[in-house]
Amino acid sequence: MTTFDFRSSASSTADTAGDRFVRFVRLASTAPGLVLSWLVIVTVVLWAVAPGWFTSFSPYDGDVDASFSPPGPDHLFGTDRLGRDLLARVIFGASTTLSATLLAVLVGFVVGSVVGLLSGFVGGRTDAIVMRFVDVLLAIPALLLAMTVVTALGYGTFNVALAVGISAVAAFARVMRSEVLKVAQSDYVEAAYGSGAGFGRVVVRHVLPNSVTAVLSLAALECGSAILAVAALGFLGYGAPPPEPEWGLAVSEGRDYLATYPWISILPGVLIAVVVLATNRISKSLGDQR
């Protein structure tokens, strides 16, 4: 008769939890920048999911008597010309900015991966034509291309996200194609064809899973670029209209007061820079693990 040792199971569970804690402490001591980057990203994601947990102020309502209050205990980021708490607007704006960023990266990842996959695997004239079109897109600055697209689509957060995503398609397509060209020459791909597998089966079962890792690393890096692009377009007035909270708009609202009340633009700008640096650090760690 088989017996179950609960003490052994509990000890194993405790050892596992202890091992995880030791690994975390070791990681924090050897790569504190990476741990800090993850803490920044997790905090910003929580802002987007549950902003009410982090502030009791409304991002829309202000106190005129408290207009242009400097950063302090009551308002950590200060207030704007309408007396609105800037930290509250940044926290609530995380949802708008991050949702636009994720949509932009998703559009670039999906469309670019499909284009690069088919171009690299089909090859021949199709590959030459597609890659020349990709080269043209890569020659255009991404922000300029995004501005052109959003001007054609119209203003708004959704259109900004689509425009930024379209501007990133070429980079994803180029990376996916380079990976597909390596995988397509592998022995297991030839063996799959020799065993009677069709084009679709080889692509889905063998080529795509072994080519997507580098593209995922690029997606993490593109998150930082997309945040900058979305914020830049919001700063220029292409994104969410006032009084909606959005990071680029938060920086823009203080540009007329830089000489007298600089914190209105500087603090949201510093936050954007910190988040972008955190995503780049995480992307670098993912690339090093390949």
Predicted confidence (pLDDT) at residue 20 exceeds the cutoff of 80: no
Pair 113, 122: CB distance under 8 Å: no
204's tokens:
């889905």
193 contacts: CB under 8 Å, gap ≥ 6: 202
Average pLDDT over residues 161-173: 91
Domains by residue range for the chain, with CATH:
38-57+77-288 (1.10.3720.10)
CA–CA dist 12, 45 (Å, integer)? 33
Q: What pLDDT does 1 receive?
A: 47
Instruction: Report pLDDT for 41.
Output: 92
| pLDDT value of residue 187 | 61
**Residue 172: Cβ-neighbour burial (10 angstroms; 0-12, 13-18, 19+):** buried
DSSP assignment of 9-65: HHHHHHHHHHHHHHHHHHHHHH-HHHHHHHHHHHHHHHHHH-GGGT--S-SS---GG
**Structure token pair of residue 12:** 């194993």
pLDDT-based confidence at 165, cuts 50/70/90?
Answer: very high
Q: What does the mean pLDDT of the chain come to?
A: 81
Query: For residue 54, is pLDDT > 60?
Result: yes
The yes-or-no verdict on residue 107 having pLDDT over 70 is yes
Share of the chain above pLDDT 90, in %: 24
- Per-residue buried b or exposed e for 81-99, using 16+ beta carbons within 10 Å of the residue's own CB: eebbbbbbbbbbbbbbbbe
pLDDT tier at 201, thresholds 50, 70, 90: low
Confidence of residue 89 (pLDDT cuts 50, 70, 90): very high
Q: What is the pLDDT of residue 49?
A: 92
- Mean pLDDT value of segment 66-79: 87
User: Can you give the pTM of this predicted structure?
Assistant: 0.81
More confident residue, 221 or 290: 221
What's the pLDDT score for residue 255?
Answer: 86
Judged against a pLDDT cut of 60, whether residue 62 lies above it is answered with: yes
Contact 173, 115 (CB under 8 A): yes
Range in 9-13, 55-59, 114-118, 266-270 with the lowest mean pLDDT: 9-13
> In this predicted model, which residue has the larger pLDDT, 26 or 21?
26
pLDDT at residue number 2: 47
| Residue-wise DSSP of 90-144 | HHHHHHHHHHHHHHHHHHHHHHHHHHHHHHHHH-HHHHHHHHHHHHHHHHS-HHH
Average pLDDT in the 90-110 region?
A: 92
| Alpha-carbon span 143 to 268, nearest angstrom | 20
pLDDT for 152 beyond 70: yes
pLDDT > 70: percent of the chain: 79
Which of 112-121, 173-182, 200-209, 268-277 ranks highest by mean pLDDT? 268-277
**Class of residue 106 by CB neighbours under 10 A (exposed 0-12, middle 13-18, buried 19+):** middle
- The mean per-residue pLDDT over the stretch 67-79 comes to 87
Under the banding of pLDDT at 50, 70 and 90, the label for residue 17 is low
Asked whether the predicted pLDDT for residue 43 surpasses 90, the reply is: yes
